Amino acid sequence: SQKIEQNSEALNIQEGKTATLTCNYTNYSPAYLQWYRQDPGRGPVFLLLIRENEKEKRKERLKVTFDTTLKQSLFHITASQPADSATYLCALGQDMRFGAGTRLTVKP
Amino acid sequence: EAGVAQSPRYKIIEKRQSVAFWCNPISGHATLYWYQQILGQGPKLLIQFQNNGVVDDSQLPKDRFSAERLKGVDSTLKIQPAKLEDSAVYLCASSLGVGTLAKNIQYFGAGTRLSVL
């Protein structure tokens, strides 16, 4: 059966460092992958979309990679700030299968 | 631009009761989605509408859940009768529609938090 795993439930880093979040999947070949941010009590907010034929996508301090051979996407936040603290979700393909999310805390 | 509106924000009911949630998508968005998000998990797609037609309802528990999209705009999701395991946040999202990938980007409402006692 299809499975989506996001690394550790929680990730704590120091302000200014780079946060790296992982999304691994099995038994699935999505044409694209999306990353969303979710704050407590709010709905997810779209951040980035990357297609299967794209290796890397950037937007300001955010970078996403997509390795269809490894069946993995990495999501990086450079020069992290306390305001980046939130849960980050990956979602695969048109049927929008979400991972459970990784709760990121950036400490000042 | 107004976002996706959902109501109510919170609802507490007893098991076996009925409940309904309402969603008003972003104006001009042809596609509407309902998700269930259980605490600690990612959202799970329940049903997808394209205008007023159902595109995917494969994960909707049809024995107790129903949804409709009135005139291709607003939508309601109903649970009848509710079970304890239905306690979750119900999220509504909308997107421009099909075609380019940009049209598939979803915009979510704040959700309705349902507690079934």
pLDDT over 80 at A67, yes or no: yes
pLDDT at position B12 is 98
Mean per-residue pLDDT, A65-84: 96
Average pLDDT taken over every residue of chain A: 94
Tell me which chain B residues have a C-beta less than 8 angstroms from the C-beta of A91. Answer: 42
Please name the member of B4, B41, B101 whose beta carbon is closest to the beta carbon of A49: B101
A108 — contact with chain B (CB < 8 Å)?
Answer: no
B96 close contact with A: CB closer than 8 A: no
- Compute the distance between CA of residue B61 and CA of residue B72 in angstroms, rounded to an integer: 22
Q: Give percent of chain A above pLDDT 90.
A: 83
Do residue B44 and residue A98 have CB atoms under 8 angstroms apart? yes
Q: What's the pLDDT tens digit per position in A11-44?
A: 999 999 999 999 999 988 898 999 999 999 999 9
CATH number of A12's domain:
2.60.40.10
What 3-state class would DSSP assign to A108?
Answer: coil
**Contact A10/B at CB under 8 A:** no
Is A89 within 8 Å of B33 when comparing Cβ atoms? no
Q: What pLDDT does residue B103 have?
A: 72
pLDDT in tens, chain B (117 residues): 679 999 999 999 999 999 999 999 999 999 999 999 999 999 999 999 998 899 999 999 999 999 999 888 999 999 999 999 999 999 999 998 767 777 778 999 999 999 999
Q: Residue A95 sits in which domain range?
A: 3-107
Q: How far apart are CA B92 and CA B89, in angstroms?
A: 10
Residue among A104, A86, A89 nearest A33 (CA): A89
Whether residue A43 and residue B41 make contact (CB cut-off 8 A), yes or no, is: no
| Tokens read off for B85 | 């395991």
Average of pLDDT values for A88-97? Answer: 90
* Closest residue to A89, CB basis, from B42, B104, B111: B42
Tell me the domain boundaries of chain B: 5-116
pLDDT value of residue A37: 98
| Residue in B40, B45, B109 nearest the CB of A96 | B45
Q: What is the mean pLDDT of residues A84-104?
A: 93
Cβ distance of B45 and A97 shorter than 8 Å: yes
3-state secondary structure of A70: coil
CA distances from B25 to A88, A93, A108, B74 (A): 23, 22, 37, 7
Q: Structurally, how many domains does chain A consist of?
A: 1
Res A96 pLDDT > 90: no
- Is the distance from CB of B65 to CB of B77 less than 8 angstroms? yes
Instruction: Answer whether B62's CB lies under 8 Å from B19's CB.
Output: no
**pLDDT given for residue A13 in this prediction:** 95
CATH class of B5-116: mainly beta
Tell me whether residues A34 and B40 touch, CB distance under 8 A.
no
Query: Which tokens belong to A75?
Result: 């999501």
Angle at B38 between CA A88 and CA B43, to 5 degrees: 50
